[in-house]
Amino acid sequence: MHLNSDVVRSHVDIENGVAGRIIFVDEDIYKHELESIFAHTWLFLGHEDQIPNPDDYYVTRMGEEQVILTRDRQGEIHALLNSCTHRGMKLCRYDEGNTSLFTCPYHAWSFSTDGSLVSRPGDLFGVPGYKTRYFEELDKSKWGLIAVPRIANFHGTIWGNWDPEAPSFEEYLGGMGQWLRFALESRDGRPGQGTVLAGIQKWRVKCNWKFAPTNFSGDFAHAVSHRSVDMVNIGPSGVGRRDDKFDGASVFGWPDLGHGGTGWAGALEEDYVQPKSFQRFPEVAEWFDKCRAERRQRLRDTFHFQGKGTIFPNMSFHEEQPRTIIVAHPNGPGETEFWRYYLVDRDAPDHVKDTLRRYFMSYSGPAGLTEQDDLENWAAATEASNGTISRQYPYNYQQGLGHSVPYPDVPGCVWAGQPFSEQNQVIFLKRWAEFMEGRNWDQLMHRVEIPGDVEFPLAKSQTSGEESA
């Protein structure tokens, strides 16, 4: 079930950069989001290192629903709906672990880590009473756990999609994949060395889920919210912040795909993380210096993105400050469950991992000083937008709109030329509207090949040859 496109367009006006508050508070619209967005888009499930061994599992989420990420005995990864096929019972009630069998607490149907309904000698597990009560007539091959049909592994991160017709994850990511890849590779530029620290932080906030991805896709303008942490110097050494350098930073977005971020792009000449960040931890600074030198050597001529961004719809990542992934799981229109994963290099020395872990959690997560500022904004904005009167008025996303230009040599990418712009929030809402009105994948993946054809409010000088005002 999708929303009528006239209704969607009455809520989201891309050309003029406004969106009705109703899409952030309304229960019916929220239910449509679960069906039209979360059942069709690629969603972040976790990291392969969370399930390194056969029969390991990790319970994660897709939209409101739990899925169990497993590694079967052949080493293959599955994502299985955490709901027993007999009568729907929540099968697994732990967050993670290792088991050869998931046995349902209700009537003891049992499933292996590849999702199949099993038989066990003695009739106690598998399907109890398979011989005596089901007379061996139950077709067990038809009653395995409900599996997510599409799974992708992107540089160690695992993604799932309920829609069998969806394009590949790489196509879905487009040019943004290059950016995400840099967040996942090792600090010295080797591919595939990023991993997650054990222990995922999870907490709930009374805000609409869309506040987080639209914040992390590019909102440098809310620096005023973080004034207190700026004053106390939130950097790891108690000096500044690791992201307070704006020189050359810009907004980059993919209007045809909904993804975007803020940061730096180009040949890797400089790391924007200030050398003094870890001055109180010389051994950590030394490790970063060594990595930086090796990365420059390794990726000298490579086109490079560095910064933070959002993969539509609800996964955001920070490449450096701190290096994390945050997923905004929807819990109704007025509540979000956030999951933060912290990234480190797999082979970094333990003292480096430990210092980073402490720094990450002082900055991000429910006790993180900076994260708390953002959470307070999003919760208070949701509350103040949900009144009889307030919900009738729109939000404004007009900052810098109409002043984006195609980014050279990156098809489909637009660029604001400076870090202050609401271009990417509009890009997110444009994609939101396309899914909500039920476009098919042919329409959704109509790819922009020529930068000048980017379907987005660009600067007049780019679209009509006129000088922009």
Size of the site for ligand FES (CB under 6 A): 9
Q: Which does 219 bind (CB under 5 to 8 A by kind): Fe ion, ligand FES, none?
A: none
**Cβ(228)–Cβ(372) below 8 Å:** no
Interface of this chain with ligand FES, residues 194 to 223, rule: CB under 6 A: none
**Cβ(340)–Cβ(365) below 8 Å:** yes
Helix %, strand %, coil % for the chain, to 5? 30, 25, 45
Tell the smallest beta-carbon distance from residue 72 to ligand FES (Å).
20
With binding defined as CB under 5 A, does residue 243 bind Fe ion? no
Tell the smallest beta-carbon distance from residue 359 to Fe ion (Å).
16
Q: Which does 374 bind (CB under 5 to 8 A by kind): Fe ion, ligand FES, none?
A: Fe ion
**Nearest 5 degrees, angle CA 16-CA 22-CA 26?**
150
Integer-rounded Cα radius of gyration of the chain:
23
Size of the site for Fe ion (CB under 5 A): 1
Among 107, 290, 358, 447, indicate the residue that binds ligand FES (CB under 6 A): 107
Q: What is the spatial distance between Cα 62 and Cα 9, in angstroms, rounded to a whole number?
A: 26
Nearest of 58, 354, 39, 64 to residue 166 by alpha carbon: 39
DSSP state of 177: H
Q: What is the dihedral of CA 48, 49, 53, 56, to 10 degrees?
A: -70
Q: What is the spatial distance between Cα 423 and Cα 453, in angstroms, rounded to a whole number?
A: 16
Q: Which does 106 bind (CB under 5 to 8 A by kind): ligand FES, Fe ion, none?
A: ligand FES
Between 127 and 427, name the residue whose CB sits nearer to ligand FES.
127
With H, G, I as helix, E, B as strand and everything else as coil, classify residue 9. Answer: helix
Q: Looking at 106-114, 138-146, 238-246, 266-274, which segment touches ligand FES (CB under 6 A)?
A: 106-114
With binding defined as CB under 6 A, does residue 106 bind ligand FES? yes
Q: What φ, ψ does residue 255 adopt, rounded to 5°?
A: -60, -25
For the window 108-137, what string marks contact with ligand FES as x by the rule CB under 6 A? xx----------------------------
With H, G, I as helix, E, B as strand and everything else as coil, classify residue 346. Answer: coil
Tell the smallest beta-carbon distance from residue 374 to Fe ion (Å).
4
With binding defined as CB under 6 A, does residue 84 bind ligand FES? yes
Between 104 and 205, name the residue whose CB sits nearer to ligand FES.
104
Among 31, 73, 87, 300, indicate the residue that binds ligand FES (CB under 6 A): 87
With binding defined as CB under 6 A, does residue 146 bind ligand FES? no
Q: At 298, which helix (H) or strand (E)?
A: helix 282-298
**Cβ(234)–Cβ(152) below 8 Å:** no
Give me the residue label for tokens 């909904």: 258
For the window 99-138, what string marks contact with Fe ion as x by the rule CB under 5 A? ----------------------------------------
With binding defined as CB under 6 A, does residue 290 bind ligand FES? no
Q: What is the spatial distance between Cα 345 and Cα 363, in angstroms, rounded to a whole number?
A: 19
Between 216 and 456, name the residue whose CB sits nearer to Fe ion.
216
**Cβ(150)–Cβ(166) below 8 Å:** yes
Q: Looking at 48-56, 86-94, 335-343, 424-432, which segment touches ligand FES (CB under 6 A)?
A: 86-94
**Nearest 5 degrees, angle CA 425-CA 431-CA 435?**
140
Tell the smallest beta-carbon distance from residue 34 to ligand FES (Å).
23
Interface of this chain with Fe ion, residues 353 to 382, rule: CB under 5 A: 374
Tell the smallest beta-carbon distance from residue 204 to Fe ion (Å).
19
Residues at the interface with ligand FES (CB under 6 A): 84, 86-87, 89, 104, 106-109
